[in-house]
Amino acid sequence: MDRLILMRHGKAEQHAATGGDFERALAPRGQADATLMGQVLAKADLAPDLALVSSARRTRETWDAASPAFPAAQAQVRRDLYHAEAQDVLAAIREDAPDSGTVMVVGHNPGLHELAVRMAMGGAADPARLAKLRGKFPTATVAVFSIDPDGAPALIHLFYASENGGHGGE
């Protein structure tokens, strides 16, 4: 793997019609922000080759909104990414990541945020970007890491929907 993209799902509705967290759909703002972030990534030439997507409705809908920007990407929907802790997300990446290319994970906080911070602190990162990452990881946020041949990560991009023309916020 040459690059890793971590994307938190878009803003979701407060309650699912069924009452369960797993079936919460994206709110209209979440749909718009996810579409926007797909376009931002594609414009920056950061299209994934493989997307690992939590099986929760809001993460699947986030991928569905972003994926038109990545027509060649393959996607795997995975139940084990639903509210996964940082080490579980990392295990899923290691299990399914190709030898080279770009892998994207569409998942949930706090696991995704914790993983992004750990990776950024373990590699080269601009101090201002690292401080910003440590502070928040709102819905539709994307952290992009380059991975060197020895497997060391470097935080190279941090995109917030609110800073790219989206609605932003928690």
Q: What is the pLDDT of residues 114-148, one digit of tens each?
A: 999 999 998 777 888 899 999 999 999 999 999 99
Bridge partners (DSSP) of residue 143 are 6, 158
pLDDT at position 162 over 90? no
Q: In degrees rounded to 5, what are phi and psi of residue 7?
A: -125, 125
Mean pLDDT in residue range 153-167: 83
pLDDT tens, 35-46? 999 999 999 999
Sign for the pseudo-dihedral over CA of 125, 126, 131, 137: negative
Give per-residue pLDDT as tens, 67-121: 999 999 999 999 999 999 999 999 999 887 767 699 999 999 999 999 999 999 9
- Structure confidence at residue 58 (pLDDT): 97
Cβ-in-10-Å burial (0-12, 13-18, 19+) of 162 comes to middle
Residue that the structure tokens 């299990």 belong to? 95
Q: Is the pLDDT of residue 170 over 60?
A: no
Q: What is the pLDDT of residue 98?
A: 65
Task: Please tell me the predicted confidence (pLDDT) of residue 166.
Answer: 60
For the segment 2-15, the average pLDDT, to the nearest whole number, is 95
| DSSP conformation class of 21 | G
Q: What percent of the chain has pLDDT over 70?
A: 95
Mean pLDDT of 149-155: 90
- The Cα 32–Cα 76 span in angstroms is 22
